[in-house]
Amino acid sequence: MKVALVSPYDFAVPGGVNSHISHLTEHFVARGHEVRIIAPASRPVQQEGLIIRGRPVGVPASGSVARISLSLRMAPRVREVLARENFDIVHVHEPFCPVLPIQFLRYSEAVNVGTFHAARERGQPLYTYGRRLLRRWFRRLDGKIAVSTAAARLVGRYFPGYYNLIPNGVEVERFAAGVEPFAEFRDGKLNILFLGRLEKRKGVKYLLRAFAQVRTHMPETRLLIVGPETRLRRGYERWVREHRVPDVIFAGFVPVEEVPRFYATADICCFPATGFESQGIVLLEAMAAGRPIVAGNIEGYASVLTHGVEGLLVLPEDSEGLADALLQLLRDPDLRWQMGQRGRQCAQQYSWSQVSQRVLSYYERLIYEKGLVGPRGEEPQAVGVHGDGP
C-alpha cells in the first residue's frame, strides 16, 4: 500500500501525534509499504518521506499551544501532492484541526482514515460551534480511529459513528531492563520522576506541593522534573526557592535518547495531570521501564492504569492525596517492585509492532469494503462508540 500520514502539527516540534506518526511510518516501511508524511515544519527535519506543507504558528488549544499551519492558500499544493503520489490510503490525524487535514479530506479520492487523539472532559468548543460545517468533512472519512475511550467519547458526542479503538504505542524494548541510570542520582536517595511539557494541565504545581509534604516525612527523596523551558517553569523554580524545598532538580529539555535513562533512574514516576489527556504516552513508557506510577485520576489515564495494580490514581488537583500516594510507595519497596512488574507486562499489549499491525489490518478492511459501502457523502449510521467493529 501507499499511505499518506497527515499531521496538522509542526513536525519540527516533539509531540504525541507526531511521535505516533513517526512510529507508524517506521513499522509500515519495515513491512514493505510506502509512506509519505505530510505536515508543516518550522525548520528542516530529518525524516524520510516527509513532505512539508505550510508554515506553523502557535495557537492556544486545550491548555497547551498547538503549532499548526493556518494558510488558506494550501489547496493547490494539496491537490498537486494527491495527483502526484496516487495514495491508496490518506490517513489524517486530528481530522478537524485547521487547515491541512481538512484540505486532504476535501480533495482526496483515496480511502480516507481519521485518527482522533484529543480528549477534553468538558467538551470541545470547535466541535460545538463548527459541527454543521465539520459534518461535511466527517462524511469524507471511510474509517475512524480513536486512541482511547476518552477520545472516542469526545468526538462521538458530536459526530456519532463507529470508532475503531487503536491506542498509542510504546517502544517496549527501548525502555526495558538494561538501560543505564544516571550515576549522579543513584546516591541512596529515592527518585520521583515527572517527565512532560511544563503546562498547567500537567499538574506540576500540585506535585511540587506534594513533594514538600513528602520531604517532611522522608528527607532522603529527590524530585526530577524533565521538560523544556517555559514561562511556568520559571514560576515553579521561584516557588521552590521561596518555600525552600531542597532536592528538586529541573533537568530541562533532554534528547530523546536520554529519556529511557531518566526512567531507569526513577524509583517512582508521577504524572498528576488535571485533564486533556486522551491516553498518556508517558504512562506507557514508565510501565515499559517497569516503574510504579502515581497519576491523576482522569479518564485518559484510568483507561491505561488500574489503581492498585500498576500504580495509584489520585484525584486531580489534590496535593495531599498525591503526597499520601507517593509516601505509600516510597515506604514499600516490595509494592514498588510488584507494580513495576505488572506495568511491564501491561505495556506489552501496547508495543508499536502490535499497534501498527492493527492499523494496517484496518486499512485492508476498508479497502476491501470500499466497493460495498454507500456512495461517498451519505450520512453514516449512528452506531455508537465501539472497540471492535464488523
pTM: 0.86
pLDDT in tens, the chain (390 residues): 999 999 999 998 888 899 999 999 999 999 999 999 999 988 888 777 788 777 777 776 655 667 787 777 889 999 999 999 999 999 999 999 888 999 999 999 999 999 999 888 676 777 777 788 899 999 999 999 999 999 999 999 999 999 999 999 999 999 987 899 999 999 999 999 999 989 899 999 999 999 999 999 999 999 999 998 788 999 999 999 999 999 999 999 999 899 999 999 999 999 999 988 888 899 999 999 999 999 999 999 999 999 999 999 999 999 999 999 999 999 999 999 999 999 999 999 999 999 999 999 999 999 999 864 444 444 443 333 444 443
In terms of Cα–Cα distance, which of 300, 270, 305 is closest to 120?
300
pLDDT at 382: 35
> How far apart are the C-alpha atoms of 386 and 256, rounded to whole Å?
34
> How far apart are the C-alpha atoms of 6 and 31, rounded to whole Å?
20
Is there a contact between 174 and 347 (Cβ–Cβ < 8 Å)? no
pLDDT at 375: 42
What does the domain layout of the chain look like in residue ranges? 2-169+352-369, 172-349
DSSP 182: P
Pairing assessment for the beta strands 268-271 and 190-195 based on DSSP bridges = parallel
The answer regarding whether domain 2-169+352-369 maps to CATH 3.40.50.300 reads no
Cell numbers placing 16 = 504525541
Cis peptide bond N-terminal to 214, omega within 30: no
Contacts of 184 (CB under 8 A, 6+ apart): none
The C-alpha torsion from 230 through 232 and 233 to 239, rounded to 10°, is 160
Is there a common fold for 2-169+352-369 and 172-349?
A: yes
Pairing assessment for the beta strands 50-52 and 293-296 based on DSSP bridges = unpaired
In terms of Cα–Cα distance, which of 104, 124, 109 is closest to 62?
124
Q: Which residues is 64 bridged to in the sheet?
A: 61
Q: Which amino acid is at 142?
A: D
pLDDT at 279: 87
CATH no. of 172-349: 3.40.50.2000
The angle formed by the CA atoms of residues 232, 255 and 167, to the nearest 5 degrees, is 80
> How far apart are the C-alpha atoms of 110 and 152, rounded to whole Å?
24
pLDDT at 374: 43
Pairing assessment for the beta strands 221-226 and 190-195 based on DSSP bridges = parallel
Is there a contact between 11 and 36 (Cβ–Cβ < 8 Å)? no
